[in-house]
Amino acid sequence: MRLVYGLAALLVAFAIYMVVIQREALLDFAGRDAPDTATEGAADGSGGAPGGDEALAAAETGASVVEEAPKRIRVVAMPSQAREIDTAVLLRGRTEAARQVEVRSETSGRIVNAPLRKGALVEAGEVLCQIAPGTREVALAEARARLREARARIPESAARVEESEARLTEAQINDRAAQSLSQSGFAAETRVASAAAAVSSARAQVETARTGLESARAAVQGAEAAVAAAETEIERLAIAAPFGGLLESDTAELGALMQPGQACATVIQLDPIRLLGFVPEAQVARVRLGAQAGAELVSGQRVTGDVTFVARSADPQTRTFRVEITAENPDLAIRDGQTAEIAIAADGAEAHLLPASALTLDDSGRLGVRTARAAEGGDVAAFVPVEVIRDTPGGVLVTGLDDEVRVIVVGQDYVTDGVPIEVTLRDTAPGAPDAPAPASATVSGAEGVTQ
């Protein structure tokens, strides 16, 4: 029995060797014997049917035709037609208060009014924190008294100037008279010298009087500055809201000691509200000032407004541009810092709605789709680069294709440009010509090819 098992194992090993290792030799051997047998049978009339040579020739011709016919790759395509769409610029951003300021004290003192609680509505100019005046009113009264005193000196100084100028005029007249008499021989030289000295003295007195007048005027200006400083210091005692809005924090507590620069309260303005987003550099040229925009908050609230600012300088980290949209918020329902999906209106375009799985890359890394193009002898595959406008729940909207195309949605990664293909069209959903089917659907008629 062992001998039988051994012989059987040898036969099996030999058969495997011939089929796997010597397959070509075995096929050559089988190919040589068949024609010889057929020829012999035809010669003696005992083998093969009549007309064996013709059959053999026909078989060889058919085999050559089959070998020459191109092998086509089966793919599945969907017909797509371009349609007009609204190419809005979509951003993800947040809401922001139109204005927000932390009101701070400019002087020191103790708070003497009851605090306002956060969340309260305040009007522009409404007092938020009142500081005790202390001795500031006395200082103001003193400054005003000094101002009155300085102003009273002005007439006196002006009178001295006029008196000095009159004396100067008199001295000049005496000087001219002494010189005239001296030339006629009726006055001594000493009289002329005395007159000249009197003129010089009168001029010095005029200059002194004028200097005194300027000093009096300077004293008035200094007193006026002191009065203004005292009045400003008193005005700083009442810290008022710079604009109408909401208190984001409590005002300073009654009795608290305020110091210069210390915060009294934070005021924010939510009407109008600002929507803030950042546009990629590839789409910033499509955003225009004054363009209409809408936003949907995570809470479901919707708001519309206009673009009021587009940055000219990109953020150095993200290479995006800041865009601001101003919208009305009369009921203050929209808060500062809420996340928002923003859509900015832009010019429309012709686009195709395709399943995202149809997108592929060519050898150079360009994004596009493969289409079925009619050619002589049948359809061939062709790569067309596209630009993705945006994603939608039904697929992706792309541009760059002809108005009507057949886009390969199954098998596009197994063909290249010019490869012969056998196309099976996939029907789209009724009422939605370009609606893509689910990516996991099995396409009937593709004989086992699935997406």
Range with the lowest mean pLDDT among 107-111, 170-174, 441-445? Answer: 441-445
CA atoms within 13 A on the CB side of 20: 6
The token pair at 278 is: 């950042």
Residue pair 275/95 in contact (Cβ under 8 Å)? The answer is: yes
Residue pair 425/406 in contact (Cβ under 8 Å)? The answer is: yes
Q: How many CB atoms lie within 10 A of CB 191?
A: 17
Between residues 17 and 104, the one the model is more confident about: 104
Q: How many CB atoms lie within 10 A of CB 146?
A: 17
pLDDT at 28: 67
pLDDT band at 261 (very low <50, low <70, confident <90, very high): very high
Contacts of 48 (CB under 8 A, 6+ apart): 38, 41, 42
pLDDT at 60 over 80: no
Rounded CA-CA distance 168/198 in Å is 8
pLDDT at 70: 63
Rounded CA-CA distance 106/103 in Å is 10
DSSP SS3 for 304:
strand
**How buried is residue 365: exposed, middle or buried, by Cβ count under 10 Å (0-12/13-18/19+)?**
exposed
Residues 5-33 have a mean pLDDT of 70
The token pair at 142 is: 């003193």
pLDDT at 63 over 50: no
pLDDT band at 33 (very low <50, low <70, confident <90, very high): very low
Measured on CA atoms in the order 303, 307, 313, 319, is the torsion positive or negative? positive
pLDDT at 48 over 80: no
pLDDT at 26: 65
Q: How many CB atoms lie within 10 A of CB 397?
A: 21
pLDDT at 186: 66
Spatial CA neighbour of 38 closest among 55, 58, 21: 55
pLDDT at 233 over 80: yes
Spatial CA neighbour of 319 closest among 281, 276, 277: 281
Rounded CA-CA distance 276/326 in Å is 9
**CATH number of 263-344, picked from 2.40.30.170, 3.40.50.150, 3.40.50.720, 3.30.750.24:** 2.40.30.170
Encode burial over 311-329: b for 16+ CB neighbours within 10 A, e otherwise: eeebeeeeebbbbbbbbeb
What confidence tens digit (pLDDT) does each residue in 320-330 have?
999 999 999 99
Between residues 445 and 434, the one the model is more confident about: 434
Spatial CA neighbour of 237 closest among 139, 134, 124, 115: 134
Residues linked to residue 395 through DSSP beta bridges, in sequence order: 392
Residues 314-339 have a mean pLDDT of 93
Residue pair 220/154 in contact (Cβ under 8 Å)? The answer is: yes
The token pair at 362 is: 């060519």
Rounded CA-CA distance 99/272 in Å is 9
pLDDT band at 55 (very low <50, low <70, confident <90, very high): very low
Rounded CA-CA distance 60/57 in Å is 5
Residues 362-379 have a mean pLDDT of 90
What confidence tens digit (pLDDT) does each residue in 188-213 have?
677 778 878 888 888 888 898 889 88
Residues 354-380 have a mean pLDDT of 91
pLDDT at 29 over 60: yes
Residues 154-169 have a mean pLDDT of 87
pLDDT at 243: 93
Residues 77-89 have a mean pLDDT of 86
pLDDT band at 438 (very low <50, low <70, confident <90, very high): very low
Between residues 338 and 390, the one the model is more confident about: 338
pLDDT at 282: 82
Between residues 176 and 21, the one the model is more confident about: 176
Task: Indicate the pairing of strand 421-425 with strand 73-81.
Answer: parallel
CA distances to 87, 109, 149, 254 from 231, rounded to whole Å, are 60, 16, 18, 24
What is the CATH class of 74-85+349-425?
A: mainly beta
pLDDT at 444: 30
Spatial CA neighbour of 241 closest among 126, 129, 131: 126
Dihedrals φ, ψ of 439, to 5°? -65, -20
Contacts of 448 (CB under 8 A, 6+ apart): none
DSSP SS3 for 428:
coil
Terminal-to-terminal C-alpha distance of the chain:
56
Between residues 137 and 349, the one the model is more confident about: 137
pLDDT at 44 over 60: no
What confidence tens digit (pLDDT) does each residue in 270-296 have?
999 999 999 998 888 889 999 999 999
pLDDT at 131: 95
What confidence tens digit (pLDDT) does each residue in 122-152 have?
999 999 999 999 999 999 999 999 999 999 8
Range with the lowest mean pLDDT among 55-69, 253-267, 302-316, 364-378? Answer: 55-69
Spatial CA neighbour of 403 closest among 435, 428, 368, 434: 434
Range with the lowest mean pLDDT among 18-22, 161-165, 291-295? Answer: 18-22
Query: Would you say how long the chain is, in residues?
Result: 451
What confidence tens digit (pLDDT) does each residue in 234-252 have?
999 999 999 999 999 999 9
Between residues 56 and 104, the one the model is more confident about: 104
> pTM for the complete prediction?
0.54
The token pair at 444 is: 């009937």
